[in-house]
Every structure is written in C-alpha cells, then in structure tokens.
Amino acid sequence: MINNQILGIDVGASGIKGAIVNVKTGELITERFRVPTPSPAKPKAVAKSVLTIVNHFKWKGLIGVGFPAVIQNGIAKTAANIDNKWIGTNVEKLLSKTTGCPVSVRNDADVAGIAELQFGAGKNKKGTIILITIGSGLGSAVFTDGVLLANSELGHLKFKGMIAEHYAADSIRKKMNLNWNEWGKRFNEYLQHLEFIFSPDLILLGGGSSKKFLKYKNLLKLD
C-alpha cells in the first residue's frame, strides 16, 4: 500500500463512486468521481465502469470495494438491488482481472459500518451498534464491542408480511410517492422492530437518505 492509500469504490444501484482514501486517517485524498451504474448492471458492464474509475485516477494499487450483496470469500451470494447474474460471481477476481489491481470486496453496509466505528460516530463505542444504510435497499452492519457480524442483511428481515426494505427503503418512498412524514413513520416502525430484536446501544444511519435526516428526524421514536 502506497502512503496508506487505497482506491475506495462503492457500487450502488444508481451510481458507482470512487475516491482515493487514506485508510490511516479515513480522509478522502481526492474528490469523489461518479459514473452511473450501467443498466442492466451485469458483471461485465459494472466491471467496465469500475475500470473507468480506476483509469480516471490512474490508479495502480489496492482497491477496496463496497458491494450491495452478501459477499463470502469475494463471491456475491445474493443480488437484491443488482443484476441476478452476480450471484455466484467472484467479484474480487472479476474486478482484479479487469483492472489489473488487487481488489478486496465486502458488503457495502459492512464497510460503511467499519468506517463509522473507526473514524466516525461509532468511534471508541462499545456494546451493540447497528448501522442502517438507507438507499435503494436497506443495508445493515451489526457490531458487538467492535466485532462485526458480517452480512447481517437486516434489510431483508420479514416485516409487515414482506421484506423490510420493500416497506421502508428510500426507493419505496420514491416509488409510492410517499411524503417524508409517511415514509418516516414506516422507517420508525422498522427501527423500532430492530430495537425490539437487538436492544442496540447505538443506531447509526448512513446511505444517501441519511443526508435528509432532518426531514424525518422528529418521527423517530426510539428508547
């Protein structure tokens, strides 16, 4: 690793974003560079977009990728918000073959959680911490005393007779044209459900819609 730097890439349902990151300080060294996620988001097409980002930064070192699926040993095991073709694909191998760089891939919410515990709102915090990312899906990262329970997929809990993210993800707000009040109530119910199951000491929110927190903050009624 050169100067503690890696190229961090987030593969999302609508955009693939990259920036060079200092992993010792957690700081972005460069501006974020974003390319739209190809549609359909099949492995080859997404790998090409990742290569566009690598070329943009003229990057030659280690690449860390957050990917929206269960990832075990570099292999995608699910595909809720990305093309089904990914299931069984070795994401690490595909991306390192395409880019010529070593690649490490983990679930997107898991890596967001690791970053929060290392550098952000979860720094030096013990106990049970749950990070929920709100976007096209609901991603989750669960920690006990700093140890990650990988691939927790709490967005796929059964809730109200359906998959939770089909009830409370941001994509549902958009699709059903819910106002922030209506959506916020749903999200609050979901968080209360998580609270009931896990009794977390801290809940962190991330993902695109966490930027809109003020629009639904008052609707969240947790202990």
Contacts with ligand BGC by CB under 6 A lie at 68-70, 78, 80-81, 107-109, 133, 135, 137, 139, 153, 155-156, 165
Q: Which is nearer to ligand BGC, 101 or 163 (CB)?
A: 163
Q: Which is nearer to ligand BGC, 14 or 30 (CB)?
A: 14
Q: Which is nearer to ligand BGC, 122 or 135 (CB)?
A: 135
Q: Spell out the residues 6+ positions from residue 218 whose beta carbon is closer than 8 angstroms to its own.
A: 184
Distance CA 76, CA 67 (A): 8
Q: What minimum distance in Å lies between the beta carbon of 16 and ligand BGC?
A: 12
Q: Which is nearer to ligand BGC, 94 or 170 (CB)?
A: 170
Residue 115 CA to its chain's centroid (Å)? 11
Q: Which is nearer to ligand BGC, 40 or 100 (CB)?
A: 40
Q: Are 81 and 68 in contact (CB under 8 A)?
A: yes
Q: What minimum distance in Å lies between the beta carbon of 82 and ligand BGC?
A: 8
Q: Which long-range contacts (CB under 8 A, 24 or more apart) does 14-18 make?
A: 14/136, 16/46, 16/49, 16/50, 16/53, 17/53, 18/50, 18/53, 18/54, 18/56, 18/57
Q: What minimum distance in Å lies between the beta carbon of 24 and ligand BGC?
A: 26
Q: What minimum distance in Å lies between the beta carbon of 61 and ligand BGC?
A: 25
- In three-state secondary structure terms, 18 is strand
Rounded alpha-carbon distances, angstroms, from residue 5 to 24, 95, 100, 160:
8, 18, 17, 44
Q: What minimum distance in Å lies between the beta carbon of 25 and ligand BGC?
A: 25
Q: Which is nearer to ligand BGC, 80 or 94 (CB)?
A: 80
Distance CA 157, CA 195 (A): 13
Q: What minimum distance in Å lies between the beta carbon of 91 and ligand BGC?
A: 12
Q: What minimum distance in Å lies between the beta carbon of 117 and ligand BGC?
A: 16
Residue at shortest CB range from ligand BGC? 137
Q: Which is nearer to ligand BGC, 47 or 105 (CB)?
A: 105
The vertex-109 CA angle with 103 and 111, nearest 5°, equals 45
Of 169, 180, 174, the residue nearest 137 (C-alpha): 169
